[in-house]
Amino acid sequence: MAVLSKSKQLKKDLSLFNIYTIATGATIASGFFLLPGLAFSQAGPAMVLSYLIAAIPVIPALYSKAELCTAMPRAGGVYFFLDRSMGPWMGTIGGLGTWLVLMFKTAFGLIGIGAYLRLFLPQVEMLPLAIGFALVFGIINLFGAKKSGSLQSVLVVGLLLILSYFSVSGISEIDYQNFDGFLDEGFHSVFATAGLVYVSYVGLSKVASISEEVKNPIKNIPKAMFLAFGTALLIYVVGTVIMIGTVPAQSLQNSLTPVATAAKIFMGQSGVLIMSVAAIFAFFSVANAGILSASRYPLALSRDHLLPRFFGVFTKHKTPSNSIFVTVAFIIIILVLFNPVKIAKRAGSFQLLLFSLNSLAVIVMRESRIESYDPGFRSPLYPWMQIFGIVSPIWLIIEMGWMSSLFTVALFGLGTFWYFYYGRKRVVRNGAIYHIFARLGQQRTGGVESELRSILNKKGLRDDDPFDVLVARAKFLDIKTRLSFEELVERVSGFLSNKLDVESKELKQAFIRGTMVGATPMARNAALPHIRLAEIQHSELVMVRCKNPVFINIDNGFMGTNSGPEAIHAFFFLASPDRDPAQHLRILAQIARHIDDEKFIGNWLAAQSEPEIKELLLREDRYISLQLKPGSKTGTLIGLKIKEINLPEETLVAIIHRDGQIIVPKGHTVLKEQDRLTIISNSRAIRGLYDKFSAETI
């Protein structure tokens, strides 16, 4: 499977705060400022329960999406997950359907802007206003996710401040007699209304479609989703209680401006103004986030040849311009030709189906046992969490009635038609589900596993991966004579045999066998022979520099290319325990990232010493080199034992360079004048050491 070139990749511009505000702003709009009036007309005061019930199936959906996002942080979100788990047919259905649903919801949000503005400008037509704002947000999105994310942050901070003021002012004004006859409409209405207001939470998952643009997605995406979920749930429950408790039933029923109606009662006309500003902020944010999120779906489908390449065109700001243009154009068409309010109500059923399929995708990916499926966040209570996440949305769809089910079937049919008419003949990819079939003796596809390895390469290491220690303590061989590949492997295997307590012959056979079957990554005159063995307890790395190149044939599955004989100057022999294949792949991927730098091999051949060689691979934010000099800041360390040095937690003196020799330090090792220490730790601790010893760092 082809790896995306850097020119086709989206920039990682979005921080945790950016994606929290995108998820929050995309959620607290129609669900709070428009839907309560419609929900009250169906369930009465019990609509509070509807909001709570609707939140329950969101939980497994969020857990599942968080797992999938941290394993596959790529544009397209649900499309990408369904495609890579269950194949391009399901991916096409999910991708096209979600694109349409997001456009319907964005149009619904634009109508919401008009509904609140007309409280003050009754003569203004909503349609031209909505179209104008669609164009404005489309233009903003052309300048990149960072600009959209910054705007989103401003809007959502303003929104949350105003909603806090609304909640504090309204709680004391609640008339609890308004809750009399709480369940008069019956439980069926409560559950049907839960299906209606379920769409109030789907904005939480919008970050999935932009996960490729998120900094540190492994940590930030789950945090953002669950922080936004907690924020939304609190606001919905408190807000709806205030609306029910302050607004007469006949005024709240079917109102399109329920928050402004409530604010007028206990805050006066100034309250209407304040809450209308909040509503406009909310709908601005949902329109902005909607266009940002929706435009990534045609991009993702285009990358996989399920839509024309036209949608994959990028601007200089690394934004998919044609995808944005077409998304905005369709939103305008929806505004002109359809009733976005009615369609948005139906669209919730398709979102429920997609949440169900996301939970199924987690089961498929885990049961496929693809080693490179490596989520940074794993959903708890597997598989029961996912089974509940599959069943509960289906139940809510049924409760919503036959019209919503029909809408879902129509979108399912549209995706099926497009796949068989256009996409099927253009893709040769199958999903991870075939890896499950392989265990039953049926078909297997390597495409998904290859692509997951590519994604793993881009994701980088985790904090607890022992990469820095492994490099710092690796054996380095500087070979200046001509050797064959087999002779080199024999020499390396002899060294590793003593370290790992494994027969040298077994190691040699494993390395050569892996190379012959195409399992050895290669790029830019460097090769990464690697093996995993059940009987070893820790990883070991041997680095070899060959001044005279070694010629070998390597089929490069990891890097995504095939190669004939090539001159290899750098070898990285990695042996790891069999129990953690994902960590083994992450270590390989980290080495591969260094190799991929066009300057790497030149620096490798020019390095004058082993420390210089190793520092080519160590991340600058994870290590520091200190020279111990009398009369300097580092001079205070001379004469101390390693165990006596006051170092930050999880910090390790990995190597001591002394008189041209390398010493592997132990706790009782005494430091001497002119020792050069290589210290590794987390990035925060290293920054602290740089500050403390800035004049003596090397």
Q: For 176-213, write each residue's pLDDT tens digit.
A: 888 888 888 888 888 888 877 877 787 776 677 777 77
Q: Distance between CA atoms of 585 and 453, rounded to whole angstroms? A: 8
pLDDT at 243 over 90: yes
Is position 547 within any domain? yes
> Where does 379-424 show beta strands of DSSP type E?
none
pLDDT for 434 beyond 70: no
Instruction: Tally DSSP H helices, then E strands, for the chain.
Output: 27, 12
- Asked if residue 447 is part of any domain, the answer here is no
Q: How confident is the model at residue 595 (pLDDT cuts 50, 70, 90)?
A: confident
In this structure, is residue 681 part of a structural domain?
A: yes
Same domain, residue pair 499 and 630: no
Of 574, 570, 556, give the one whose Cα is nearest residue 525.
570
* More confident of the two residues 75 and 320: 320
> What pLDDT shows up at residue 5?
44
Distance of CA 286 to the CA centre of its chain: 20
CB within 8 Å of 542: residues ≥ 6 apart: 474, 475, 476, 477, 492, 495, 496, 571, 572, 573
Per the prediction, the chain carries an average pLDDT of 80
Do 312 and 419 lie in one domain? The reply is: yes
- The DSSP element (H or E) to which 476 belongs, if any, is strand 475-479
Same domain, 160 and 300: yes
Check pLDDT > 50 for residue 441: no
Q: DSSP code of 646? A: -
Q: Report the run of H or E that residue 162 belongs to, with start and end.
A: helix 145-171
Judge if 384 and 296 occupy the same domain: yes
Measured distance CA(513)–CA(485) in Å, rounded: 12
pLDDT tier at 6, thresholds 50, 70, 90: very low
Q: Are 299 and 75 in contact (CB under 8 A)?
A: yes
Residue 686's pLDDT band (boundaries 50, 70, 90)? confident
Domain limit, last residue, from 615, 650, 681: 615
Note whether 564 and 629 are same-domain residues. Answer: no
What is the predicted pLDDT for the residue at 237? 92
Asked if residue 112 is part of any domain, the answer here is: yes
CATH number (domain holding residue 336): 1.20.1740.10
Question: From CA 317, how far away is CA 41, in angstroms rounded?
Answer: 46
**pLDDT score recorded for residue 553:** 63
Claim to verify: residue 380 and residue 482 sit in the same structural domain: no
- Whether 437 shows a pLDDT value over 70: the answer reads no
Range of the domain at 570: 461-615
pTM above 0.85, yes or no: no
The burial of 448, by beta-carbon neighbours within 10 Å (0-12 exposed, 13-18 middle, 19 or more buried), is given as buried
What CATH number is given to the structural domain containing 540? 3.40.930.10
pLDDT at position 698 over 90: no
Question: Looking at the predicted structure, is the pLDDT value of residue 244 above 80?
Answer: yes
**What is the end-to-end Cα distance of the chain in Å, rounded?**
42
Q: Where among 590, 615, 640 does a domain terminate?
A: 615
DSSP-derived 3-state class of residue 396? helix
**With 60 as the cut, is the pLDDT of residue 356 above it?**
yes
Number of other CB atoms surrounding residue 219 within 10 Å: 16
pLDDT of residue 86: 81
pLDDT tens-digit profile of 466-488?
787 788 788 889 998 888 889 99
User: Where residue 1 falls among pLDDT bands split at 50, 70, 90?
Assistant: very low
Taking the C-alpha atoms of residue 175 and residue 167, their distance in angstroms, rounded to an integer, is 15
Domain count of the chain?
A: 3
Which one is predicted more confidently, 616 or 317?
A: 616
DSSP 125: -
Residue 649 and residue 555 in one domain? no
Q: Do residue 37 and residue 115 come from a single domain?
A: yes
- Give 376-407 pLDDT, tens digit per residue: 889 899 999 999 989 988 887 777 777 777 88
Statement to judge: residues 357 and 478 lie in one domain = no
Is residue 146 domain-resident? yes
